[in-house]
Amino acid sequence: MSGFDDVTLTWAGKDYEIRAHDLMPIISKVENILLRDEDQGVLAIDVLCNKRPIAKIAECFEAILRHAKAPVLPGEAYLAVMSAFADRDGGYFECVQDQVMQILSLLAPPVHLQILGTRAEAKGGGEKK
């Protein structure tokens, strides 16, 4: 494995980039948020992917966006999820999934790429290697 790549996040229709050399501090912060109140020995990625605590996901996403210099207010990502939930049109799941995938792109690039590859295959687009 060669190391991290730059990560691009999207918020409110605009892209924000975190350079590869600047990822470790925010990865540590994201892990601290995800593992707060968890039993010792639990992996942050397990909390993110299996438990899906909406407030923690939104808090992580906001921390990452702020690290990337995006103008996001406290609670804004959480309220975006709750607004989508209130609409009852399925956008809730898409909103949560989008935040989780963007967090994964930073926290676990190989897992993120594997999921993206699986999605491309399911849509008939990707090649499995």
List the chain domain ranges: 19-122
- What confidence score (pLDDT) does residue 121 get? 52
DSSP character for 113? H
- pLDDT tens for the chain, 129 residues long, are 457 889 999 999 999 999 999 999 999 999 888 888 877 778 787 777 777 788 999 999 999 999 999 999 999 999 988 988 888 777 778 888 888 888 888 888 777 777 777 655 545 554 443
DSSP character for 51? I
Distance CA 111, CA 117 (A): 10
pTM for the model stands at 0.77
Strands 7-11 and 14-18: antiparallel
C-alpha 72, offset from chain centre: 15
